[in-house]
């Protein structure tokens, strides 16, 4: 019989496909694309997803050994440096795996534990999972629109 953690792990895996299915279509050229007047490139959004997923793994779900320097959050704007597609894909694979592994380690009582962060206040771990699911899906939607309509601005 599937546990609550099994169900929530499946939910995370399925929601991440909104991003995963787009990755094979992205080219290095696409990483510089933006939608006017948005300041953020597709490459910036990919890096931002990595950082937030790792921050959730570490600070919400307890993956204390996770190392992350949240450059997109620190800079608060696109610096134009997110142009290495191979590196970004590897980072995305890693952030997915790290978050998946720590989600799988939660037991039934963990999902009701409250976490407090300055970004979103007090949430249970179950609510926080909803937050990271919607965060990644939100940016995956932006990426899809940028792939379809975005341009490279000089």
Domain of residue 26, CATH code = 1.20.120.450
Question: What is the number of domains present in the chain?
Answer: 1
Strand segments (E) across the chain: 33-34, 114-117, 121-124, 151-152
The pLDDT assigned to 22 comes to 97
Whole-number average pLDDT of the chain:
95
Question: What does the pLDDT look like over 102-139, one tens digit per residue?
Answer: 999 999 999 999 999 888 899 999 999 999 999 999 99
pTM of the model: 0.95
The pLDDT assigned to 37 comes to 87
pLDDT of 93 strictly over 90? yes
pLDDT of 142 strictly over 90? yes
Identify the domain containing residue 100 by its residue range.
Answer: 4-152
């Amino acid at each position: 019989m599937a546990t609550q953690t099994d169900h929530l792990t499946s939910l995370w895996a399925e929601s991440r496909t909104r991003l995963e299915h787009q990755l094979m279509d992205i080219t290095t050229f696409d990483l510089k694309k933006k939608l006017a007047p948005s300041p953020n490139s597709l490459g910036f959004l990919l890096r931002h997803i990595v950082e937030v997923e790792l921050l959730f793994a570490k600070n919400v779900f307890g993956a204390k050994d996770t190392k992350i320097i949240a450059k997109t959050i620190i800079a608060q704007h696109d610096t134009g440096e997110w142009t290495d597609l191979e590196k970004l894909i590897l980072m995305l694979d890693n952030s997915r795996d790290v978050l998946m592994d720590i989600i799988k380690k939660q037991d039934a009582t963990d999902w009701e534990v409250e976490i407090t962060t300055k970004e979103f206040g007090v949430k249970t771990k179950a609510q926080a999972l909803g937050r990271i699911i919607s965060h990644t899906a939100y940016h995956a939607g932006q990426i899809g629109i940028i792939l379809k309509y975005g341009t490279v601005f000089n």
